[in-house]
């Protein structure tokens, strides 16, 4: 009842656990069904092997960079003290106690989507084992994934109908099915950010995916665990959630924002 009241009383959009679980079950299946359908209808014959390889590399770099920018934004999003999120983040007792659960129930769902997300990120930095859930976080990254996926379908439709609709990008991309493939790869990578993240932390919980992630890490195709450990320590590195190859650029943006007082280190730690 508390969750329902909090959701009704709060005019900003919020997720309740029941709503998130329902959306999760359907959105995962729907996403991959659309992704496979789009891949099946791509003009593979119109792409060269070199073009496909370059597309995969470029799409991976862009997805990694975007993930880093998003991570940077959420990490430095201010914690809402007025709603009491500081009481949750700096709770001194056991986080699996009834006292904490009651406090969490009364505070967490009163905030907006971004306020809840900012709290989850900060809590995960402090307590990675008890605050991370791949089920909880899929929907947080799926917005961008679905947006890219629907965009790819729009491009694919224009390509199939031989109708670029007079839009410059579509007219340009009409001749380059590699771009559509790139958008699909971007969508797939962003959708799996939290699976990669979870496997970096707890590879044994997903035996097959965990082995794959570890294997890719040995070739530098997934960001290294050591870098992510430094991120949790607050060293200001490792914001990119896929390959980590664009961390340098995101780190430069972070320094630029810090030097100009646009963001502060205290925000990362959840301080006012």
Q: What is Dmax (Cα atoms) for the chain?
A: 63
Distance of CA 164 to the CA centre of its chain: 31
Give me the pLDDT at residue 160, please: 62
Nearest to 133 by CA among 152, 120, 150, 122: 120
Give me the pLDDT at residue 78, please: 95
Instruction: Measure the CA–CA gap between 232 and 19, rounded to whole angstroms.
Output: 30
Task: Look up the domain containing 49 and give its range.
Answer: 2-268
Regions of the chain with pLDDT less than 50: 1-19, 22, 133-138, 166, 168, 171
Instruction: Measure the CA–CA gap between 207 and 199, rounded to whole angstroms.
Output: 9
Residue 216 near residue 224 (C-beta atoms within 8 A) = no
Around Cβ 2, how many Cβ atoms within 10 Å?
Answer: 10
Tell which phi-psi region holds residue 165, choosing left (phi > 0), alpha (psi between -120 and 50) or beta: left
Tokens of 68: 């880093």
Separation of first and last alpha carbons in the chain: 31
Give me the pLDDT at residue 199, please: 85
What does the pLDDT look like over 197-231, one tens digit per residue?
888 887 777 788 889 999 999 999 999 999 999 99
**How many domains in the chain?**
1
Residue 246 near residue 64 (C-beta atoms within 8 A) = yes
What 8-state DSSP symbol labels residue 134? H
Instruction: Measure the CA–CA gap between 263 and 73, rounded to whole angstroms.
Output: 9
């Amino acid at each position: 009842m508390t969750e329902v009241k909090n959701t009704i009383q709060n005019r900003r959009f919020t997720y309740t656990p029941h709503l998130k679980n329902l959306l999760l079950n359907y959105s995962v299946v729907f996403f991959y069904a659309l992704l496979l359908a789009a891949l099946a209808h791509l003009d593979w014959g119109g792409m060269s092997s070199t073009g496909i390889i370059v597309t995969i590399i470029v799409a991976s770099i862009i997805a990694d960079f975007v993930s880093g920018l998003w991570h940077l934004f959420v990490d430095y999003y201010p914690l809402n003290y007025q709603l009491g999120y500081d009481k949750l983040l700096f709770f001194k007792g056991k986080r699996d106690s009834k006292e904490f659960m009651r406090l969490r129930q009364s505070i967490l769902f009163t905030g907006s989507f971004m306020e809840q997300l900012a709290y989850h990120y900060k809590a995960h930095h402090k307590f990675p084992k008890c605050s991370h859930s791949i089920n909880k976080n899929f929907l947080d990254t799926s917005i961008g994934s679905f947006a890219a996926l629907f965009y790819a379908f729009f491009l694919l439709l224009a390509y199939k109908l031989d109708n670029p609709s007079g839009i410059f990008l579509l007219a340009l991309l009409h001749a380059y099915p590699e771009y559509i493939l790139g958008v699909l790869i971007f969508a797939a990578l962003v959708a799996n950010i939290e699976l990669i993240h979870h496997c970096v932390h707890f590879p044994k919980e997903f035996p097959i995916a965990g082995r794959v992630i570890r294997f890719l890490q040995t070739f530098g195709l997934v960001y290294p665990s050591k870098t992510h450990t430094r991120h949790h320590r607050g060293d200001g590195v490792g914001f990119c959630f896929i390959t980590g190859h664009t961390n340098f650029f995101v780190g430069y943006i972070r320094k630029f924002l810090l030097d100009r007082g646009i963001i502060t280190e205290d925000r990362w730690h959840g301080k006012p």
